[in-house]
Amino acid sequence: MSLSWKPNSSAPLWDEEELDEPQGPFFEYLDLEHIRQVGPTCVPTTLAMLARSTDADVTPEDFMPIINSQSPHSWSKALEQYGMQLAYCNNDLRRLEYYIDELVQHDDLFLLCFYSQDPPFDPDINGKLCTAHIVTLHKDVIIDTAKTGSQGKIIAKYYPRIARQTKRIFRVVPVGHPRCI
């Protein structure tokens, strides 16, 4: 048997929807108010910010005991009661700037995780690879819980950390979406 198949070197961040799959944008009308994180709490602060957009009265501290900062599955489970879950997007270690135009074209809600420094190939003696950070992209605006003022909510193409390498990208989807994690 001869094989004429060749690997595809690229994939869209969000594969085209199946016929029976809900199509986005899913959260185009959210009002996301910036929350400033305290210490290394970008994940619970981001989750609280998303939950608050549904009029929930929550704080990052409400999320801390129910999530693991390295387990996106736990983040998705924590968002369920607010009508949201996470779905993985196709991505690799390329810099966020490579993906940003495609993400903005979806006109929706995404969580962007990136490495804070160039990641080494192996973890340190404590098992840690390197520090990472998560920000929210809503439409064409990045909301960074580690920043304040005009840097806390900024047009995506002007975000100063857009040259960082991607760790993960999630699309925020409605609860029960076929792609949720």
State the total domains in the chain: 1
For residue 1, pLDDT beyond 60: no
pLDDT digits (tens, 9 = 90+) for 5-54: 888 777 899 988 777 888 889 998 999 999 999 999 999 999 999 999 99
In a domain, 155, yes or no: yes
Beta strands in the chain (DSSP E): 84-88, 109-115, 132-138, 141-143, 153-155, 166-174
Q: Is residue 153 included in any domain, yes or no? A: yes
Q: What is the pLDDT of residues 122-146, one digit of tens each?
A: 777 887 777 899 999 999 999 999 9
As a whole number of angstroms, the distance between CA 2 and CA 88 comes to 34
> Does residue 140 lie in a domain region?
yes
In tens, the pLDDT along 111-125 reads 999 998 877 677 778
- CATH number of the domain encompassing residue 103: 3.90.70
Residue 142 included in any domain: yes
pLDDT in tens, 137-171: 999 999 999 999 999 999 999 999 999 999 999 99
- For residue 84 the two structure tokens come to 């949201």
Domain that holds residue 127: 42-174
Q: Per 3-state DSSP, what percentage of the chain is helix, strand, and coil (rounded to 5)?
A: 25, 20, 55
